[in-house]
Structures are given as structure tokens and as C-alpha cells.
Amino acid sequence: MSAFPTTRLRRLRRTPGLRALVRETSLDVGDLAYPLFVCPGEGVTEPLEGLQGIGRRSVDVLCDEAEEAHRLGVPAVLLFGIPEEKDAVGSGAYADDGIVQRALRELRRRLPELVLITDVCLCEYTSHGHCGVIEGGEVLNDPSLELLARTAVSHVEAGADAVAPSDMMDGRVGAIRSALDAAGRESVPVIAYSAKFASAFYGPFREVADSAPAFGDRRSYQMDPANLREALRECALDIGEGADMIMVKPALPYLDVIRSVRDRFDVPLAAYNVSGEYAMVKAAAASGWLDERQAAIESLLAIKRAGADVIFTYWAKEAAAWL
Ligand code: PBG
């Protein structure tokens, strides 16, 4: 490559048209999935400070929000439930009339074309707030698998198009895959939160989902933020157990992980632009320190550039309007 002054990279940056021609990455509303929280009741919209514009919604209000997002072009939603009651074994997660199951039936009826993905985990449903069952202060792995598998099957029977296990128990993808197959649901994909890190950036989510652990933390099951090689092993194992799509979470502090996973594996890759990443921008924008729209689009573009095919983001609906 010849050097300056023959080469001047600014030539192709001179006008919006030239910049568009040489743009290497593009953001498409079709790549976005919108996480939503459903709670009991009717006509309920419970905004929460940490996750502005998201909060909790009863089934009817949730359907309206999903409909609006879908009309703007958002192809998929990811559902989380806040149950009436919690117990030690998270029964609300796999109850036939559980909150997510009720939302699924209604969404399926009203929006047959919207892709319905459910987060499969126990932490929103357990009284102790951990993602599996507890004995002697420990989160047990194998006994949790059966409950997670039951949850996944119950979501699919209620209308889910795909299930996304986020608990980080070993072997959950395989357990869910076999349970779905045994239930005659071999055509339903599993989107595995494969490289899910024990992150401080889930703070606002835990307030909305009321799922902060009552004791200890999640470091005995979610990954150490320091580990990249282990993230690749998690992905390899999940693909081996039948994951159809894998995920890296959070996204922005882990762009290197997204890039490495993209380079190593050929399955579709999702990234979760989590609650803390969203809240930071919202808070800074509210103080007038940055432009929310530009910062959000730049964040999402960076996640795509790193290699994600699909982005789970609380900006999905707003971004659909911006794009
Ligand atoms: C459930 C779950 C969490 C998130 C997604 N699924 C919380 C956690 O692991 O504590 C976080 C999402 C976000 O912060 O936006 N296990």
C-alpha cells in the first residue's frame, strides 16, 4: 500500500454517500430481539428506574408493546416472568398456568408471526433467587436440570418458538434437548446462553425481575469475567449437546469473546446487550452527557462488528424506529 500523500483515507469519508458505500458493518432491525418482563394483573405497567422504558407489564399491556415492536419490524421477543409467588424449587417456572405460559398463549394468539423466545431459568421463581435448587448453601447442578427441562417443555407447549437457557448449570442444553425431543418437540431450537459471565452489569435486571440472590452470588455457576478459553469450551460443549444458537453475555465488555467465538464456531451467534449496558447510556443521556440515540446505535453496531448475528437489546423497539 502506498503511503501518504498518495494514500489519503479521508477521501472516502468526505460525504455521507461515500461513507455509506464503504461501510463494512450494517445494523438491521431484523437482527434485534426485544427482552420483556411480564407480571400478574391487568392493565399493569410498572416502570422501574434502572430499566427505563422497560419495567414490568401485565399480559395485556405486554401484548400491546410486543405488537408495536413487531409492527416496527422487530422479529423476536425474549420473555421473562415475575410470578405471584416464589418457592424453594421455583414451581412458577414450570407451572402450566405460570406467568410466562399465560403470556405465551396470549401472544401466540394475537401475534402468530412474532418469534417468541423464552428465558429458561429458575432465579425469578425461587425464594432464594438462585438459578437452581439449593442444598446446604450450594446450588446443585444435576437436580436442577430436570426442573429446567420441565420449564423449557412447558414454555414450548404454551407456544414458545425457541427456548434460551440462562442458568449456566452443566449439561442443561442436553437435558433440555432430550426433554423437548421426548415431548415430540424435536423441531424447536435451543438458544444457549453459553458464555454467560458473573457480571455486575445485570444489576438493573435483577431489580426488575426481583431476582437478586438472597445469599452469596452467582460465581459458582456463571463464568469468571477473566476467562476467554473457558468461554470457548462452554460454547463447544453446548454445541455438542445440541445448541442451535449460542450466546455471549454481557456484550460490550466482552467484544473480544464475541469475536473469538465467531472465529471459532459456525453456529449463529447472539450477544446480550444487558441491562447495565443500557442503563449506563440512559443515565448519562438523562444528565445530558451523551446523545442516547447515537450511543445506542454505536453500541449495537460495535456488537455486530465483533461478530454477533443477533442482538438481544432493550433498545430493540427504539432502534427499530431509528433505523
Ligand atoms: C436469568 C437472567 C439474568 C439475565 C438474563 N437472564 C440475570 C442473572 O443472571 O442474574 C440478565 C439480563 C440483563 O441484565 O439484562 N438468570
Look at ligand 1, atom 14, and give the residue with the nearest C-alpha.
202
Residue list, ligand 1 pocket, CB within 6 Å: 119, 121, 123, 131, 166, 202, 205-206, 218, 274-275
For residue 322, report the distance from its CA to the centre of ligand 1, in Å: 26
CA-closest candidate to residue 86, choices 134, 35, 122, 135: 122
Phi/psi of residue 148, each to 5°?
-65, -40
Residues 292, 252: Cα–Cα separation, whole Å: 16
The answer to whether the beta carbons of residues 122 and 151 sit under 8 Å apart is yes
Phi/psi of residue 126, each to 5°?
-95, 145
For residue 88, report the distance from its CA to the centre of ligand 1, in Å: 19
For residue 120, report the distance from its CA to the centre of ligand 1, in Å: 10
For residue 205, report the distance from its CA to the centre of ligand 1, in Å: 6
Residue to substitute in 34, 124, 202 for testing ligand 1 pocket (most ligand atoms within 8 angstroms of CB): 202
pLDDT at 80: 98
For residue 124, report the distance from its CA to the centre of ligand 1, in Å: 9
Instruction: Evaluate if pTM is beyond 0.95.
Output: yes
Look at ligand 1, atom 6, and give the residue with the nearest C-alpha.
166
The three-state DSSP-derived secondary structure of the chain is CCCCCCCCHHHHHCCHHHHHHCCCCCCCHHHEEEEEEECCCCCCEECCHHHCCCCEECHHHHHHHHHHHHHCCCCEEEEEECCCCCECCCHHHCCCCCHHHHHHHHHHHHCCCCEEEEEECCCCCECCCCCCCEECCEECCHHHHHHHHHHHHHHHHCCCCEEEECCCCCCHHHHHHHHHHHCCCCCCCEEEEEEEECCHHHHHHHHHHCCCCCCCCCCCCCECCCCCHHHHHHHHHHHHCCCCEEEEECCHHHHHHHHHHHHHCCCCEEEEECHHHHHHHHHHHHCCCCCHHHHHHHHHHHHHHHCCCEEEECCHHHHHHHC
The answer to whether the beta carbons of residues 260 and 248 sit under 8 Å apart is no
Q: Given 86, 196, 282, 317, which residue is catalytic? A: 196
Q: What is the mean pLDDT of each run of 10 residues along the chain (323 residues)?
A: 94 98 97 98 94 95 98 98 97 98 98 98 96 95 98 98 98 98 98 98 93 94 98 98 98 98 98 98 97 98 98 98 95
- Ligand 1 atom nearest 166 alpha carbon: 16
Residues 148, 132: Cα–Cα separation, whole Å: 8
CA distances from 307 to 21, 22, 135, 152 (A): 20, 18, 39, 28
For residue 93, report the distance from its CA to the centre of ligand 1, in Å: 15
For residue 131, report the distance from its CA to the centre of ligand 1, in Å: 10
Domain boundaries, the chain: 27-322
The answer to whether the beta carbons of residues 236 and 195 sit under 8 Å apart is no
304 an active-site residue? no
Residues 281, 277: Cα–Cα separation, whole Å: 7
pLDDT at 12: 98
Q: Apex CA 149: angle with CA 227 and CA 239, to 5°?
A: 45
Residues 316, 63: Cα–Cα separation, whole Å: 16
Residue to substitute in 48, 78, 121 for testing ligand 1 pocket (most ligand atoms within 8 angstroms of CB): 121
Residues 182, 159: Cα–Cα separation, whole Å: 17
- Ligand 1 atom nearest 201 alpha carbon: 14
Residue to substitute in 117, 205, 218, 312 for testing ligand 1 pocket (most ligand atoms within 8 angstroms of CB): 205
- Ligand 1 atom nearest 209 alpha carbon: 7
pLDDT at 49: 87
Q: Apex CA 269: angle with CA 265 and CA 274, to 5°?
A: 135
The total number of residues written for the chain in this structure:
323
- Ligand 1 atom nearest 205 alpha carbon: 14
Residues 305, 153: Cα–Cα separation, whole Å: 34
Residues 100, 155: Cα–Cα separation, whole Å: 7
Q: Given 86, 249, 282, 317, which residue is catalytic? A: 249
CATH fold of 27-322:
TIM Barrel (3.20.20)
Look at ligand 1, atom 8, and give the residue with the nearest C-alpha.
202
- Check the CA dihedral 39-44-49-52 and report its sign: positive
